[in-house]
A and B are shown apart, each in its own frame.
Chain A
Amino acid sequence: MIAYNKEELEKLEVINEAEKWHKSGIIDDAQFENIQSQYESNLYHPPFWLRVILFIATIVGVYATLGLFGTLMISGFRNLEEVIRVILVAIGVGSFLYLEAIAIKTKHHYKSGVTEALLYMGISNGLMGVFGFDLNEYFYAFLILLVGVIAAVRYLNLLGVVTAVSAVAFFVFTGLYDLGGILKSTIPFAFIIVFSTGYMISQRFQETKNFPFYKDVFIILDVLFLVLVFAGGNYFVVRELSFEMMGLNLVDGEDIPFGWLFHITTAVIPLIYLYFGIKNKKPLLLRVALLLLFASVITFKYYYSTGHPEISLTIAGAFILGITIWTLNFLKTSRNGFTREKLLSDKWDNINAESILVSSTLGGNAIPTEAASTDFGGGEFGGGGAGGEF
Chain B
Amino acid sequence: MKSTHQKLHEDGILTKNQFDYLEKIDAHQIVSVYFELRSLLYIGVLLLTTGIGLIIYMNMGQIAHLALISVMIILEGFVFWYIHKHALPYANIEQKSPTPYFDYALLFGALLVISIFSYILIQYDLLESFIEWSSLISAIIFFFLAFRYDHRGVLALGITAFSAFWGLSVSPVEWTQFDFIDMGALHHTGIGIGLLLFLTGTALKFKNIKTHFAFTFQNFGLILFFISITSALFEGYNWGFYAWGSVLISLLVTIASWKKQEYLFFVYSAIAGYIAFTRLLVEIADDAPFQLWFLYIMVSMGGLVFMVERIISRKRKNRPV
Chain A contact residues, CB within 8 Å of chain B? 10, 12-19, 21, 26-27, 31, 34-35, 38, 41-50, 52-54, 57-58, 60-61, 64-65, 67-68, 71-72, 107, 114, 210, 212, 281-283, 286-287, 290, 309-318, 320-321, 323-325, 327-328, 331, 334, 337-344, 346, 349, 351-352, 354-356, 358-367, 369-371, 373, 376-378, 381-390
Contacts and interface: CB of A to CB of B under 8 A. Distances in A.
27 contacts: A26-B18, A44-B317, A53-B304, A57-B305, A64-B297, A64-B301, A67-B294, A68-B291, A281-B29, A314-B51, A317-B50, A318-B44, A321-B41, A324-B40, A324-B44, A337-B28, A338-B33, A343-B34, A354-B153, A355-B153, A366-B50, A369-B53, A370-B57, A383-B131, A384-B118, A386-B170, A386-B173
B25 A344 contact: yes
Q: Chain A interface mostly helix, strand, loop or mixed?
A: helix
B82 interface: no
Contacts, number: 345
Interface in B167-193: 167-174, 179-180, 182-184, 186
Interface of B: 1, 4-5, 7-8, 11, 13-14, 18, 21-22, 25, 28-37, 39-41, 43-58, 60, 100-101, 107, 111, 113-115, 117-118, 121-122, 125, 127-128, 131, 134-135, 138-139, 142, 152-157, 159-161, 163-164, 167-174, 179-180, 182-184, 186, 212, 215-216, 219, 261, 263-264, 266-267, 270-271, 290-291, 294-295, 297-298, 301-302, 304-305, 308-309, 312-313, 317-321
B7 A14 contact: yes
A334 B33 CA distance: 10
A337 B212 CA distance: 33
Given A14-B4, A31-B14, A384-B161, 11 more contacts: A10-B1, A53-B270, A210-B1, A283-B33, A287-B36, A310-B51, A317-B47, A358-B154, A383-B131, A384-B117, A385-B164
Nearest to B35: A346
Contacts of A60: 297, 301
Given A314-B48, A384-B118, A57 B131 contact: no
B22 A26 contact: yes
Q: Chain B interface mostly helix, strand, loop or mixed?
A: helix
A13 B3 CA distance: 10
A385 B45 contact: no
Given A19-B320, A384-B118, A286 B36 contact: yes
A45 B128 CA distance: 53
A343 B36 CA distance: 13
A290 B42 CA distance: 14
Contacts of A355: 152-153, 155-156, 216
A287 B36 CA distance: 7
A283 B37 CA distance: 12
